[in-house]
Each structure stands twice: as structure tokens, then as C-alpha cells.
């Protein structure tokens, strides 16, 4: 049996996109498959006696070629995640019936661009947001849980699938009492929602955000002020949910009305509540895990995309804790 597999790419731009700068994508593919890949002209070749490695190489390359052909820019994280997916039962490739990366691409309307998942867990998170009305996402800093939630929410509101976007989070630092702070409600809560605004401003122009606020398409709603409301036909993002109490989490979830979607994000390792108070996020993850119709995504250090150093910092703290 021939142990050499050769893939011919006639389009030089696609070949360059698949290889990456200084062939970094190929190096990532070599490390992940424990193989050696040669580039000769417009050919990529793999020599391996292992039929499984050759099959995965072909499957992964098909997916990478399809992604570059769609105009996507590849990253080494993306390459590794595609390799991980190709090895799973029901794995995927360009020829498979379901490609999580393709399915999970977030196209923000009005020409604002495309957001792609950079790991398999991120892809599953996005797909969960699309298919479920209440989504929980827990993970450490830098894993994209808030950024992807905001991107998906903007997509739904700007495409008029939902009436508006509601942003909320617990204000632990102010003890949920905002009356003593200067300014109107928006000015009082704005500093606490800055991470959500940072995510929005990375996705759409500031003027678009301002117009959406003025027209009521974006609403700021401090968690403590949501009691008694019914939120219909909107996307509601509860950020920093690890700092809710059990009572606040229950109150929030029961605000979700007809045609609405709730996205709850938080980092279970960053709870700022008093020691005797159980995190509403941790409690919900435990008691709601068996409830049908909910989606739970768990991101980890392998999904960190903010800065490669963040992954090592988180791992160092986790080792010290253990």
C-alpha cells in the first residue's frame, strides 16, 4: 500500500492561507498528528504507514482548504481544534454532514464582518446559543465567553430576529446599591458593564452602538433592578454571573419571557461574594444540569484566545491551588 498522500492545491492564495505565515499552520498540524508534511510547489505531501493518520490528514486539509476558500483566516488554534474534531467519533471534515466551525460562524449584518470560533468548545458554545433559549457558559478569563455572547446577540438584534439586547450583571463592588453614585442610571452602571461595551466596540463602530442605545435596541439593566420585569423578544446577557446569589440567579432566569434568549456567562474561579454566600452560577450549574431545554458550555485553558500568556498564568494558579 502506498504510504504517501499528496494533496494538490491549484490556487496559490489558498495554499498560502492553509500553510500560514512561515508555515506555522503546517507545523501545528505536524505536531498534532505527529507526522511530517512536505511542501513542493503546489503540493502538500505526507508520508505515513499509518492509514488513520493519512485519513485524518486528508480530512483536516479538506476543512482548512474549505475555510480559506470561504475567505477565512486560519490560526494555529483553529488548526489544532480541527485536528481534535477529526479524531472524535462523529468527527467532521469538509465532506462531513456537519462542520461545527462552518456552522458556528457568526455573520454580523450590515457588513460588520464574521466572527469564527477558535476552538471546538467555542464552536459548540455558539451552536448552543443558536439552538437553545437559555445558555450557561462557564470558563476562565480570555476564553471568549463574553465576546462570543455579544457577537451572537448583535447578530440576532441587527438581523431583527430579536427586538433588543439587554445587558446586565451583578454590581458586587457597590453592594447592588447604586443610589449614592453620581449620574443617571446608565452613568452609574456603565463602568461595571465596560467589558461588554469593549466587546461590542470590537465588533461594530461606536456610532452604531450609540444609535442602538438611543433607539432602544440596547438596554442597560442592573440585575438588582430587574425584579418584577418580564423580558420578551430580546437577547439578555448576564455577565459575571459567578457573583450572583442563588436568589438573584433564580430571579433573573424567571424574568425570561416569550421569544427571548438568555446567555449566562461567568468564571467559577473568580467569585467575589462573601464567603458564606454560594455563587448563583455554581448553584445553577449543579441543580439545573438535568433540566431539558438548557445548554451548558464549559470552556477551559485550551480555549484561551486573549493572549497565549493568559493560558500559562491560569494554569500556574490552578497548580498552586491544587
Q: Mention every residue, 6+ apart, whose C-beta is less than 8 A from residue 17.
A: 68, 73, 74
pLDDT interval class at 92 (50, 70, 90): very low
Q: Which three cell numbers stand for residue 138?
A: 462557564
**What does the pLDDT read at residue 33?**
86
**The predicted structure's pLDDT at residue 185:** 59
Other beta carbons less than 10 A from residue 233's beta carbon = 13
Q: What is the pLDDT of residue 4?
A: 86
User: Would the pLDDT of 96 be above 70?
Assistant: no
**16-20, 51-55, 258-262, 313-317 — which is least confidently predicted?**
313-317
| Domain chopping of the chain, boundaries | 4-98, 121-321
227 backbone φψ class: left, alpha, beta (φ>0; ψ -120 to 50): beta
Mean pLDDT of 46-63: 85
pTM of model > 0.95: no
Task: Report the distance separating Cα 96 and Cα 102, nearest Å.
Answer: 11
Q: What is the pLDDT of residue 89?
A: 41
What CATH class is the domain 4-98?
A: alpha beta
Q: What is the pLDDT of residues 125-150, one digit of tens each?
A: 999 999 999 999 999 988 999 999 99
The CATH number of domain 121-321 is 3.40.50.300: yes
Q: Which three cell numbers stand for residue 238?
A: 448576564
- pLDDT single digits (tens) 213-248: 999 999 988 888 888 899 999 999 999 999 999 999
**Per-chain mean pLDDT for the chain:** 84
Amino acid at each position: 500500500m502506498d504510504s504517501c498522500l499528496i494533496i494538490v492545491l491549484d490556487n496559490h492564495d489558498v495554499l498560502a492561507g492553509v500553510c500560514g505565515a512561515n508555515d506555522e499552520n503546517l507545523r501545528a498540524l505536524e505536531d498534532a498528528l505527529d507526522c511530517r508534511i512536505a511542501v513542493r510547489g503546489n503540493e502538500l505531501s505526507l508520508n505515513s504507514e499509518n492509514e488513520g493518520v493519512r485519513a485524518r490528514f486528508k480530512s483536516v486539509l479538506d476543512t482548512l482548504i474549505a475555510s480559506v476558500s470561504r475567505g477565512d483566516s486560519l490560526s494555529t488554534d483553529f488548526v489544532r481544534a480541527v485536528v481534535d474534531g477529526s479524531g472524535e467519533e462523529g468527527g467532521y471534515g469538509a465532506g462531513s454532514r456537519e462542520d461545527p466551525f462552518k456552522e458556528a460562524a457568526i455573520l454580523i449584518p450590515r457588513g460588520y464582518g464574521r466572527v469564527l470560533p477558535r476552538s471546538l468548545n467555542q464552536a459548540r458554545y455558539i451552536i448552543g446559543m443558536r439552538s437553545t433559549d437559555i445558555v450557561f457558559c462557564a470558563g476562565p478569563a480570555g476564553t471568549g465567553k463574553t465576546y462570543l455572547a455579544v457577537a451572537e446577540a448583535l447578530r440576532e438584534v441587527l438581523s431583527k430576529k430579536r427586538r433588543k439586547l439587554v445587558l446586565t450583571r451583578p454590581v458586587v463592588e457597590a453592594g447592588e446599591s447604586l443610589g449614592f453614585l453620581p449620574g443617571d442610571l446608565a452613568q452609574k452602571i456603565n463602568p461595571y458593564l465596560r467589558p461588554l461595551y469593549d466587546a461590542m466596540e470590537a465588533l461594530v463602530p461606536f456610532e452604531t452602538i450609540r444609535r442602538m442605545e438611543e433607539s432602544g435596541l440596547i438596554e442597560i439593566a442592573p440585575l438588582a433592578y430587574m425584579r418584577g420585569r418580564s423580558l420578551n423578544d430580546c437577547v439578555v446577557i448576564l455577565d459575571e454571573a459567578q457573583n450572583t446569589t442563588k436568589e438573584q440567579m433564580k430571579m433573573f432566569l424567571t424574568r425570561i419571557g416569550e421569544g427571548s434568549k438568555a446567555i449566562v456567562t461567568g468564571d467559577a474561579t473568580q467569585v467575589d461574594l462573601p464567603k458564606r454566600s454560594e455563587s448563583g452560577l455554581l448553584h445553577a450549574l449543579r441543580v439545573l444540569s438535568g433540566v431539558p431545554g438548557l445548554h451548558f458550555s464549559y470552556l477551559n485553558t485550551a480555549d484561551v484566545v486573549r493572549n497565549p500568556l493568559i493560558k500559562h498564568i491560569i494554569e500556574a494558579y490552578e497548580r498552586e491551588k491544587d
